[in-house]
Amino acid sequence: MEFKRNILITGGAGFIGSHVVRLFVNKYPEYRIVNLDKLTYAGNLANLKDIEQAPNYVFVRADICDFETVCGIFEKYDIDGVIHLAAESHVDRSIKDPFTFARTNVLGTLSMLQAAKHHWDGKWEGKRFYHISTDEVYGALELTHPEGIHSDISAHEVYGDEFFRETTRYSPHSPYSASKASSDHFVRAFHDTYGMPTIVTNCSNNYGPYQFPEKLIPLFINNIRHRKPLPVYGKGENVRDWLYVEDHARAIDLIFHEGKVAETYNIGGFNEWKNIDLIKVIIKTVDRILGNPEGYSDSLITYVTDRAGHDLRYAIDATKLHRELGWSPSLQFEEGIDKTVRWYLDNQAWMDNITSGEYEKYYEDMYGNR
Ligand code: NAD
Ligand code: TYD
């Protein structure tokens, strides 16, 4: 079968990648979608059960750092577009094991870029290398408007400088964000040096189905369900800007097709929450759905030693994407959290399959028994 486009999505078995793969496979039957994933601890093919038989979907298990293999995949499927999500993604792990982050996020991205350059051989017409990055590369913001942090788009018009913008200088603090920053620079260097048609987007914290339960929201939903402590780092005062994962996938689709080459777009939820306030919303939602009395799980909150170098606040100004391409988040946070909690409670088998002994042991070493 002839396909109109052959798109390589890396990291498609992970959290965000699986939503992007699903969207593209269903929305574009005329495209062949090749999902390249190493299946690390974070990769899970169960995330893609519903589309694995689709005629326009191919899965290849490979390491992005393996340059020869990646070149072979470009060749075999005649790839003309890349959406690069494969990465080590968890800050706590990066603190323990920065080498793995440098290898996958920096060298792996370079290997992808080199393979694309090799295959496209200067014929850039119709090609696209789209790199998915994080707002964490910008560093940390002050808590300047604590009373107004559940911001909406108008706050960004007024207080623009108090948010991360596309022009904000990079200032990564964690090994994770340092590795992502480095990969972003390599992607831009391939545009500036060789003319490769690249795009970079920097997105805020995602939440939703299929997120690995090392991250705050799925971890806490699962712990409440099992009556386990909820480890709040420090005082729970750090602020994150949360975006429903399907809204991120929609933005990626839009930018892949309509974004301008060599541009950067910030993607965010216009939705800042202090961790402790967010945690209270999660507890309330789980208790309500499980039919527990109000306040039933509040006592699970357990303050623990803060994360080393814990960035105080992330907040994205996504007005450029809104203005230029018409994107905005579709879900209100309360609705997104409700959907997310219901999904994890309805999919316990998915959760139980991945909460392996090794995963528990890793965290015991770091923060004590959960
Ligand atoms: P994830 O950890 O859930 O998934 C990462 C995927 O990459 C997994 O399927 C894993 O198997 C695969 N992978 C890891 N190393 C690989 C390698 N060497 N070769 C091939 N595949 C490999 O991550 P996520 O949360 O879905 O994040 C995806 C991307 O989006 C990352 O680049 C991350 O930096 C970025 N991002 C994430 C968030 C967030 O809130 N989760 C926000 C902004 C940007
Ligand atoms: P996380 O989901 O790891 O995302 P990121 O570090 O990329 O923002 O963490 C979100 C916030 O929640 C962050 O401020 C750290 C905090 N946190 C806790 O307080 N306890 C936890 O067990 C985890 C995993 C995170």
- The percentage of the chain sitting over the pLDDT mark of 90, rounded to a whole number, equals 89
Helix orientation angle between 15-27 and 245-258, rounded to the nearest 10 degrees = 60
Query: Phi first, then psi: what are they for 108, rounded to 5°?
Result: -65, -45
Ligand 2, CB within 6 Å, residue ranges = 91, 205, 215-216, 219, 231-233, 238, 240, 275, 307
Helix (H) or strand (E) holding 202: strand 198-203
Q: Residue 148 pLDDT > 70, yes or no? A: no
Q: Which pLDDT does position 152 carry in this prediction? A: 64
Q: Residue 28 pLDDT > 90, yes or no? A: yes
**What does the pLDDT average to over 92-99?**
98
Ligand 1, CB within 6 Å, residue ranges = 10-11, 13-17, 37-40, 42-43, 63-65, 85-89, 104, 108, 132-134, 180, 203, 205-206, 212
Answer with the residue of higher pLDDT: 148 or 340: 340
Q: Residue 218 pLDDT > 50, yes or no? A: yes
Going from the Cα of 368 to the center of ligand 1, the distance in angstroms, rounded, reads 25
**Top-tier CATH class for 5-208+243-272+309-332:** alpha beta
Residue-wise pLDDT for 150-160, tens only, equals: 566 666 665 65
Q: Which pLDDT does position 1 carry in this prediction? A: 78
Q: Which pLDDT does position 144 carry in this prediction? A: 73
Q: How many CB atoms lie within 10 A of CB 45?
A: 15
57: three-class secondary structure by DSSP: strand
The DSSP bridge partners found for residue 331 are: none
Q: Residue 162 pLDDT > 90, yes or no? A: no
Residue-wise pLDDT for 41-66, tens only, equals: 999 999 999 999 999 999 999 999 99
Locate the domains of the chain by residue range: 5-208+243-272+309-332
Q: Which pLDDT does position 149 carry in this prediction? A: 59
Give catalytic residues, as residue numbers: 135-136, 176
Which of 9, 10, 16, 22 has most ligand 1 atoms within 8 Å of CB, for mutation? 16
* Residue 174 alpha carbon, nearest atom of ligand 2: 6
Q: Residue 173 pLDDT > 70, yes or no? A: yes
With a CB cutoff of 8 Å and minimum separation 6, the contacts of 85 are 9, 10, 11, 12, 14, 16, 17, 20, 132
The pair of structure tokens assigned to 339 is: 């959907």
Residue 359 confidence class, pLDDT cut points 50, 70, 90: very low
Q: What pTM was computed for the model? A: 0.95
Residue-wise pLDDT for 299-327, tens only, equals: 999 999 999 999 999 999 999 999 999 99
Answer with the residue of higher pLDDT: 154 or 198: 198
